[in-house]
């Protein structure tokens, strides 16, 4: 076992994923997830040397709640039980919103913590949870350096004519209202791996990366730098997602409120939690379930998947204007890595970019078949490459946190 491990913490609004990882190899010694935080059914699950175990999470003495603090307490306890604490070099925190301040990972100082809290105005659920996770981990490991790795950082290379909205400039100048982009660590990771797979330096290739999970975004990456992406001020813009609408006409909000009598808070819930695959199918936000229902003949499930795929293709075509050539389209995320059906439909809409799949190779990537999880090319010989590359955001966070700490010690 490596004696240089990084504790990676990823706090969501009601979950906390973590991994104790060797940043060199990407191998995790201990990992797991706390789910349904602050509810009666909160639990924490661990995986250690192939064994998985879950236990109910009990409330903290201070708040009585099974919250993020309780999750960190349970994880720290497990780390000590397994005598792994001595091997930890530093802690890397995934932080969703870094605004314009951060285009690289940073050591967490009181100023950085204050900036993360301040940016909660742009990502209320996420940045608030990150701040709690940081406090709790600092209290548990006061001697360890802590690093923030931002989802927005990779997109900070977008030019101003790409990131500005067609709104009064003072909204940008005074309030930072602009497009930021998210899933940056994933787009960064798979674009690096794609270069390896293509056997070319990243500085010589132009890619579009499609991260398709419960949240979805695409990015145009030219010579290793992001030049456009589909998400904007918040992770709501762009592609349709599991429960998020993606792009809609913004005046829809007025229509719902003024004509249909919605409360503003209900519009927010509708756009973020009741739309997307779930909204159209009226069945599920889970792509796998919808594919199964479509096979059974469920027309709304089929329609939801068709809208989803068309919108992915439309956004891929849109960000392609940031490139001068396309060396590869990369699929990643739970859907991008596992769904041959979605990949085939998306690429089917992209003849304009001369993309074409090798149908058999595309199917080979499906879960349960040989080569599961592997990085591979699924396009025909003469077309631009289409690649499947499993993402590993934890590994990027571990690598970047370790590199920063080593460089400054």
Q: How far is the CB of 375 from ligand ADP (least distance, A)?
A: 16
List C-alpha distances in Å: 237 to 106, 157, 197, 271.
27, 19, 30, 11
| Secondary structure of residue 383 in the 3-state scheme | coil
**Which of 29-37, 73-81, 93-101, 332-340 is the region at the interface with ligand ADP (rule: CB under 6 A)?**
332-340
Number of residues that bind ligand ADP (CB under 6 A): 14
Among 335, 353, 386, 398, interactor with ligand ADP by CB under 6 A = 335
Q: Which of 220, 200, 197, 203 is nearest to 377 (CA)?
A: 197
32 near ligand ADP (CB under 6 A) = no
Adjacent-strand bridge partners of 212: 216
Q: How far is it, in rounded angstroms, from Cα 119 to Cα 102?
A: 11
Q: Which residues, 268 to 327, sit near ligand ADP by CB under 6 A? A: 286-288, 291
**Which of 41-49, 94-102, 207-215, 380-388 is the region at the interface with ligand ADP (rule: CB under 6 A)?**
207-215
Q: How far is the CB of 406 from ligand ADP (least distance, A)?
A: 29
With respect to ligand ADP, which residue has the nearer C-beta, 162 or 190? 190
Residue with tokens 């190779």: 361
With respect to ligand ADP, which residue has the nearer C-beta, 320 or 392? 392
Angle at 119 (CA atoms; ends 115, 125), nearest 5 degrees: 125
Annotated catalytic, 188? Answer: no
Contact between residue 237 and residue 246 where contact means Cβ atoms under 8 Å apart:
yes
Per-residue contact flags (x/-) with ligand ADP for residues 365 to 394, judged by CB under 6 A: --x---------------------------
Q: Which of 226, 280, 220, 219 is nearest to 248 (CA)?
A: 280
Q: How far is the CB of 285 from ligand ADP (least distance, A)?
A: 7
8-state DSSP, 91: E
Q: How far is it, in rounded angstroms, from Cα 236 to Cα 151?
A: 14
Q: How far is the CB of 289 from ligand ADP (least distance, A)?
A: 7
Contact between residue 262 and residue 235 where contact means Cβ atoms under 8 Å apart:
no
With respect to ligand ADP, which residue has the nearer C-beta, 133 or 322? 133
Backbone φ/ψ region at 261: left (φ over 0), alpha (ψ -120 to 50), beta? left
363 near ligand ADP (CB under 6 A) = no
Q: Which of 4, 6, 2, 1 is nearest to 394 (CA)?
A: 6
148 near ligand ADP (CB under 6 A) = no
Question: How many Å separate Cα 307 from the centre of its chain?
Answer: 21
Among 338, 362, 392, 400, interactor with ligand ADP by CB under 6 A = 338
With respect to ligand ADP, which residue has the nearer C-beta, 32 or 215? 215
Adjacent-strand bridge partners of 52: 47
Q: How far is the CB of 176 from ligand ADP (least distance, A)?
A: 25
Element at 111 (helix H, strand E) = helix 110-118
The residue whose Cβ lies closest to ligand ADP is 334
**Which of 27-35, 73-81, 174-182, 209-217 is the region at the interface with ligand ADP (rule: CB under 6 A)?**
209-217
Element at 5 (helix H, strand E) = strand 5-11
Contact between residue 388 and residue 337 where contact means Cβ atoms under 8 Å apart:
yes
Q: How far is the CB of 346 from ligand ADP (least distance, A)?
A: 13
Contact between residue 290 and residue 283 where contact means Cβ atoms under 8 Å apart:
yes
With respect to ligand ADP, which residue has the nearer C-beta, 10 or 87? 10
Q: How far is the CB of 28 from ligand ADP (least distance, A)?
A: 16
334 near ligand ADP (CB under 6 A) = yes
Q: How far is the CB of 201 from ligand ADP (least distance, A)?
A: 28
215 near ligand ADP (CB under 6 A) = yes
242 near ligand ADP (CB under 6 A) = yes
Adjacent-strand bridge partners of 254: none
Give, to the nearest 10 degrees, the angle between helix 124-140 and helix 68-81.
40
Q: 89, 151, 188, 228: which is the annotated catalytic residue? A: 151
14 near ligand ADP (CB under 6 A) = no
**Which residues of this protein are in contact with ligand ADP, per CB under 6 A?**
213-215, 242, 286-288, 291, 333-335, 338-339, 367
> Catalytic residue numbers?
151
């Amino acid at each position: 076992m490596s004696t240089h491990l990084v504790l990676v913490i990823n706090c969501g609004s009601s979950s906390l994923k973590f991994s104790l990882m060797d940043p060199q190899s990407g191998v995790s010694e201990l990992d797991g997830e706390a789910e349904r935080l602050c509810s009666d059914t909160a639990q924490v699950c661990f995986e250690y040397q192939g064994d998985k175990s879950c236990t109910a999470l009990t409330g903290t003495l201070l708040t009585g709640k099974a919250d993020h603090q309780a999750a960190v307490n349970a994880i720290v306890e497990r780390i000590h039980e397994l005598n792994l604490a001595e091997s930890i070099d530093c802690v890397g925190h995934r932080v969703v919103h870094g605004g314009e301040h951060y285009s690289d990972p940073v050591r967490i100082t009181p100023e950085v913590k204050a900036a993360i809290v301040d940016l909660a105005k742009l990502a209320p659920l996420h940045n608030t949870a990150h701040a709690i996770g940081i406090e709790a981990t600092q209290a548990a490991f006061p001697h360890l350096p802590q690093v923030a790795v931002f989802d927005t950082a990779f997109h900070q290379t977008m030019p101003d004519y790409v990131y500005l909205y067609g709104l009064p400039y003072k909204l940008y100048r005074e309030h930072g209202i602009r497009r930021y982009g998210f899933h940056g660590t994933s787009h960064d990771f798979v674009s690096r791996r794609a270069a390896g797979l293509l056997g070319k330096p990243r500085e010589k290739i132009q890619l579009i990366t499609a991260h398709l999970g419960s949240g979805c975004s695409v990015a145009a990456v030219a010579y290793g730098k992001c030049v456009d992406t589909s998400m904007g001020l918040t992770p709501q813009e762009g592609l349709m997602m599991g429960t998020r609408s993606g792009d809609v006409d913004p005046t829809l909000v007025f229509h719902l409120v003024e004509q249909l009598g919605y409360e503003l808070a209900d519009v927010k819930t509708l756009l973020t939690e009741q739309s997307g695959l779930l909204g159209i199918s009226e069945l599920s936000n889970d792509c796998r379930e919808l594919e199964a229902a479509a096979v059974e003949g469920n027309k709304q499930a089929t329609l939801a998947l068709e809208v989803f795929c068309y919108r992915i293709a439309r956004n891929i075509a849109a960000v392609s204007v940031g490139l001068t050539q396309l060396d590869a389209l990369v699929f990643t995320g739970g859907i991008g890595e596992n769904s041959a059906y979605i990949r085939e439909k998306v690429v089917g809409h992209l003849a304009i970019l001369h993309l074409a799949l090798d149908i058999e190779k595309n199917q080979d990537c499906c879960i349960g078949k040989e080569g599961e999880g592997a990085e591979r090319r699924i396009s025909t010989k003469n077309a631009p490459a289409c690649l499947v590359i499993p993402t590993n955001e934890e590994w990027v966070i571990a690598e970047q946190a370790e590199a920063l700490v080593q460089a400054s010690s």
